[in-house]
Amino acid sequence: MSSLSQALPSVQAYVDHFSAQPLPVLRRTMLDLAALRDSGESVGAKQLASVVLSDPLLTMRLLTHIERNRRESQNHDITTIERAVMMLGIEPFFSTFGDLPTVETTLASQPKALVGVLKVIGRARRVADYARDFAIQRRDLDVQEITVAALLHEATEIVCWIHAPALALRVQEQLVASRGLRSAEAQRDVLGATAAQIQLGLIRAWRLPQLLVQLLDDSQQDNPRVRTIKLAADLARHLARGWDDPALPDDLAAIEALLHLGREPLLLRLGAPEEARARLLPPEPAEPA
């Protein structure tokens, strides 16, 4: 594995470097897959999809594998994990993904980077949970597509922690030192580009389905499906710093507009603690004199 310690000169240079590196997966994922395979019971696509969707790294690997081995007769994209598993088949799935390198082994000598990537993976899961909930509220036509795309929204940060841990740590240090600093600003200062800029190039290099590429393009904010994922990502990022994060009121206002939902039911839906609800609810209108 080639680990970056200095910024690269362009977005394309990052795309070329990261896309040439192998993607490890979580140790827990490997253990869960081994347990399913050794259980002696009939394993279905739904069970495997549940394991895959707990790990954005395996999600990326599976979708990339499906696209790279696309049959000529396949005239539509596979954009959900259960469909991808069914397309590949249960035994071929285990043969392909049953023994992969793990994040924990890859970063064994860099404990700070391991903690960093595990935190981002945890946040990616929260992004997927929020986006799924928002999509259900919006009555989206395919909630699973939104869930998969949302799970991959933090892909560049995850890859940076694995393959450029020194740079990822410098970004984190800037954010900790200046609480009001936006992530994109810190990334631009350290990397010379934002994670969002690198991400579009990466997901194209990984040959993810075109629909997922579109859903992960934050510039297409006129599309309510794209906005669903972006707002879920913003919310998860800011909530990771606490319910008193200064960006939260703007997040909540944007989510209210997307879901056509009032502030109080939205805070209840998000599980906001009582103290946060009291602070984030708009003031009651004054009684007429």
Q: What is the 3-state secondary structure (H, E, C) of the chain?
A: CCCCCCCCCCHHHHHHHHHCCCCCECHHHHHHHHHHHHCCCCCCHHHHHHHHCCCHHHHHHHHHHHHHCCCCCCCCCCCCHHHHHHHHCHHHHHHHHCCCCEHHHHCCCCHHHHHHHHHHHHHHHHHHHHHHHHHHHCCCCCHHHHHHHHHCCCHHHHHHHHHCHHHHHHHHHHHHHCCCCCHHHHHHHHHCCCHHHHHHHHHHHCCCCHHHHHHCCCCCCCCHHHHHHHHHHHHHHHHCCCCCCCCHHHHHHHHHHHHCCCHHHHHHHCCCCHHHHHHHCCCCCCCCC
Separation of CA 153 from chain center: 4
Question: Given this model, what pLDDT does residue 183 score?
Answer: 87
Question: Given this model, what pLDDT does residue 284 score?
Answer: 64
Question: Given this model, what pLDDT does residue 71 score?
Answer: 65
Question: Given this model, what pLDDT does residue 75 score?
Answer: 58
pLDDT tens per residue, the chain (289 residues)? 568 889 999 999 999 999 998 899 999 999 999 999 998 778 899 999 999 999 999 999 999 998 888 765 565 778 889 999 999 999 999 999 999 999 999 999 999 999 999 999 999 999 999 999 999 999 998 999 999 999 999 999 999 999 999 999 999 999 888 877 888 899 999 999 999 899 988 988 888 888 898 999 988 989 999 999 999 999 999 999 899 988 899 999 999 999 999 999 999 999 999 999 989 987 766 556 5
pTM beyond 0.75: yes
> Taking the CA atoms of the chain, what radius of gyration do you get in angstroms?
20
Right CATH for 107-271 from 2.60.40.1930, 3.40.630.30, 1.10.150.130, 1.10.3210.10: 1.10.3210.10
Where along the chain do its domains lie? 23-103, 107-271
